[in-house]
Every structure is written in C-alpha cells, then in structure tokens.
Amino acid sequence: MDNLVIGIDVGTHKVCTVVAQVRPDSVFVIGAGVEGTRGMKAGLVTDLEALTKSISSSVYKAEQASGYVIKRAFVSISGAHVHSDNSRGAVGISGPRGVTPDDVERAMENARAIAIPHSREILHVVPRHYVLDGQSRVRQPVGMFGFRLEVEANIVTAATPSVNNIEQAVEGAGVLVDRFIVSPLASGDAVLTDEEREAGVVLIDLGAGTTDLAIFIEGAVWHTAVVGIAGDLISSDISHWLQVSTELAELVKLQRGHCVPKRVSELETFLVEPFGEGLPIETKRRELAEVIEARTEEIFEKCRDEIKRSGYDGLLRAGAVLTGGTSQLPGIEELAKQMLGIPIRLARPERLTGLGDMLKAPAYSTSIGLLRLGLQLDAVQAAATSTPTPTPNGKWGARVRGLLKRLLPDAEE
C-alpha cells in the first residue's frame, strides 16, 4: 500500500503505535495500539525489560487492529538531554546549472560538522534558510545562480546512551527503528498551521514526564528543547499532599483538577481516603487547585526560561500552541497566558480519517506527527542522496522543491 507508515510514540505515560496511510490532506489510520508505559521516567529509560514489554504490547495491539506485521517504524524520542544549536555551513558553487541538490547537501554536511561531545549524537539537521552570495533569507536555493551558498541550520542533538536505550527497547520488541524523531518536532507537525509557523510560534507539548518545546519562525524550526517535568510531577505533588497512592492522586487530578484556584468555588469539596485513615476525609477542591497551580506555574516558568534562552522570545507573533495530555488540565489556557504573556491556543491532531477518532486527543499529537514528518524527512534524504538526472524542463529541481516545501511547508517556489 502506498505511503503506509508506522509510528511509535514511546511516551512516559503511554506507548502508542499507529499504522496509517499518509494522504495529502489527511492521515488515514488503519490501526493503533496504546499501552501504558512501564520503565520510563521523565523521558528516560529506567527499566529496559519493562519498557520493552510495554512497546511489544502496543505493537501487538496495533498489528491486531491493522492486520499488518510491524517490522520497522519511526520512533519518538524526548528527555531533558535533547538540545538544539544553530550552525552555519558554506560551499562554493561551480556547476553551470546553478545550485544543485548536491550543493545543498554539501552545505548541510558542513553545518553538521560542529563539534559535539562524543557522548551526544545528531538527530536532525533542519535548514532554517540559506544565504546565496550574501543574499540572506533564501528559502529554496536549488536552481538559483550564485558562487557561494551558506545554510543556516538548526542541529538537534541527544545523549547517545539515552538514544541507544530506546533503540534497544524498540528492537527488543522486534521492530527496527527507521528513524528517531524528537517529540516536539513531531507534535508541531501534527498541530501547527502554516500561518502560525510563518508568524512565529512556540509549540509546547505537556506530557507526563517531559514538556517538549519547538520554536518555529518564518516557516522553519529555529529552536528545540525539552523540560524534564510535566504531569507526573503534578500527580506526585497531589499524592504527597493528600497522603494517597500515586494512582489515586492521578485519578483525583483527572476528576477534580484545576490550575486556577480563583476559578474554583471555595465551597466545593470532595472525599478521599488517605493512607492509614479508616475514613474518607473531606478535601477542598480549591486547595487541590493551589497545589496543581504551583507545579504548573513552575513548568511554564521553565518554558519561559527556555524561550528566553533561545533569544527568539520577541518573535512569537502567533504565541504558544499547547498540546499533550497535560494540556487538558482545566484552566491551563488562562495560566499559560498569564505566565508566558503571549496568545495561547490548545490543539490536538485534526484531519484524521479511517480509525483515527480515538487519536483525536492532545496526547496523540506526537504519534500522528511522527508519520508525516518521518516520510518527509526520508524523502528529503532520498532526494539529497540520489544522483540528480536533470531534464530539459527541470523536473528534478521541481521535485526537490516539492519535497523541501513539504519539510518547510511555506518555502517559496
């Protein structure tokens, strides 16, 4: 089947495997399998065997639902070890046909050659824009004439041991990793509009163990980062405060949670039974909201610090787009607006057909984004590594332009 793609989002809370067909305007879901994650904390593997079992089970469910045997997949990666840096690469242009895909690839290779510690590896080299003979902000140089091409690229790196651990777990489940994709880029692909990417936007995926950020400006990724706290820590705070198990604290959060105390009536109460007490205790919902507010504020403070550190804080005209399971916390839009001081939109994957209804929730943004982005990255790589055969009407150039346009959706023709 054409464009059949498989993505596995290995999250701290759940592993989600999706088998789908990527179509121009939608993702047609053929089958999916979701399994609660064991063996991960804050995006890092803590128990390889348990994680392998969770992935196996998610893959098995997706195989049952889709009728396909899963052999390879695009796999998400997250964790506070994920960073990005901007880098420049330059090459001379000597061919008679202007800039070729090969020149672009050589420039990207040069940008890639930045010094990174041996314990880290490069996951993505994303072109931000090109400079051709001093003319900056060129979005698509293939076919243009000039003598010197420079690329400004965003280089996303991750700690090698963390990448290897996830790879080991996925391969232990019998699946080859086609490509790793960092979670915020995948989520961004699933939920951002071209207009937001163009205007300047920060994608914030609030999950269980990590809060993933990606800044898009002028249609391209300019910065990627992961904050190592999210919804799990909110539940853990509730568990300490109420003296209850984390499972019960999680339930209390889902059923009674709010992160803006003033929006909760002072009179509203609920019953919980703490450890060691024989009887349920009446608890004020507003006090619960205060506990949740404190930690959620801390998460947004860390996001604000990260946005400031990127240096692009003044360029986010489209504000922030929130997704991920924790973005469903009541009041989060108001708190985020207050903390970040920019417009806020809550988002989830749209344009899903087939069996996609259950995946139309913010927790599945990464799972869905992996599919289209994985295909696009593969296509761009294939275009860059095959030998161009120019035709008189320049079909090759048009094809590469098309592929790059999909990677950088608003690249100019």
Ligand X SMILES: Nc1ncnc2c1ncn2[C@@H]1O[C@H](COP(=O)(O)OP(=O)(O)OP(=O)(O)O)[C@@H](O)[C@H]1O
The residue ranges that bind ligand X (CB under 6 A) are 11-14, 43, 78, 183, 207-210, 230-232, 235, 250, 253-254, 257, 324-326, 328-329, 363
CB of 72 to ligand X, least distance (A): 21
State residue 145 phi and psi, 5-degree precision: -105, 145
Binding partner at 319 among Mg ion, ligand X, none, C-beta below 5 to 8 Å by kind = none
**CB of 151 or CB of 249, closer to ligand X:** 249
**CB of 217 or CB of 359, closer to ligand X:** 359
Binding partner at 363 among ligand X, Mg ion, none, C-beta below 5 to 8 Å by kind = ligand X
* Total Cβ atoms within 10 A of residue 197: 23
**CB of 166 or CB of 316, closer to ligand X:** 166
Binding partner at 13 among Mg ion, ligand X, none, C-beta below 5 to 8 Å by kind = ligand X
**CB of 155 or CB of 329, closer to ligand X:** 329
State residue 12 phi and psi, 5-degree precision: -75, -30
**In the set 207, 209, 231, 261, which binds Mg ion (CB under 5 A)?**
207
Binding partner at 329 among ligand X, Mg ion, none, C-beta below 5 to 8 Å by kind = ligand X
Encoded tokens for 154: 């965003």
CB of 129 to ligand X, least distance (A): 30
C-alpha separations of 344 from 4, 202, 318, 319, 340 in Å = 34, 10, 8, 6, 9
Residues 31, 23 contacting (CB under 8 angstroms): no
Binding partner at 45 among ligand X, Mg ion, none, C-beta below 5 to 8 Å by kind = none
Binding partner at 397 among Mg ion, ligand X, none, C-beta below 5 to 8 Å by kind = none
Tell me the C-alpha distance between 91 and 164, whole Å.
Answer: 33
CB of 325 to ligand X, least distance (A): 2
Give the pairing of strands 269-272 and 320-323. unpaired
Binding partner at 294 among ligand X, Mg ion, none, C-beta below 5 to 8 Å by kind = none
**In the set 6, 7, 8, 11, which binds Mg ion (CB under 5 A)?**
11
State residue 219 phi and psi, 5-degree precision: 85, -5
Q: Which residue is nearest to Mg ion (CB)?
A: 207
Tell me the C-alpha distance between 169 and 280, whole Å.
Answer: 41
Contacts with Mg ion: how many residues (CB under 5 A)?
Answer: 3
Q: How far is CA 224 from the centre of its chain?
A: 9
Binding partner at 43 among Mg ion, ligand X, none, C-beta below 5 to 8 Å by kind = ligand X
DSSP 267-330: T-EEEE--TT-SS-EEEEHHHHHHHHHHHHHHHHHHHHHHHHHHT-GGG-TT-EEEESGGGGST
Binding partner at 33 among Mg ion, ligand X, none, C-beta below 5 to 8 Å by kind = none
x-or-dash pattern for Mg ion, window 61-90, by CB under 5 A? ------------------------------
Binding partner at 162 among Mg ion, ligand X, none, C-beta below 5 to 8 Å by kind = none
Taking Cα atoms as reference points, which of 122, 131, 124 lies closest to residue 151? 131
CB of 136 to ligand X, least distance (A): 36
**CB of 292 or CB of 407, closer to ligand X:** 292
**CB of 3 or CB of 168, closer to ligand X:** 168
**CB of 142 or CB of 158, closer to ligand X:** 158
**CB of 108 or CB of 363, closer to ligand X:** 363
Taking Cα atoms as reference points, which of 102, 95, 48, 140 lies closest to residue 407? 140
- Give, for 213, the enclosing helix (H) or strand (E): strand 211-217
**CB of 42 or CB of 91, closer to ligand X:** 42
Tell me the C-alpha distance between 216 and 251, whole Å.
Answer: 35
x-or-dash pattern for Mg ion, window 350-369, by CB under 5 A? ----------------x---
Question: Within a 13 Å sphere around the CA of 232, how many CA atoms are in the beta-carbon half?
Answer: 17
DSSP 45-111: ES-HHHHHHHHHHHHHHHHHHH-----EEEEEE-STT-EEEEEEEEEE---TTSS-HHHHHHHHHHH
CB of 39 to ligand X, least distance (A): 12
Tell me the C-alpha distance between 404 and 383, whole Å.
Answer: 9
**CB of 17 or CB of 366, closer to Mg ion:** 366
CB of 124 to Mg ion, least distance (A): 17
Encoded tokens for 319: 């504000």
Residues 157, 85 contacting (CB under 8 angstroms): yes
Binding site for Mg ion (CB under 5 A): 11, 207, 366
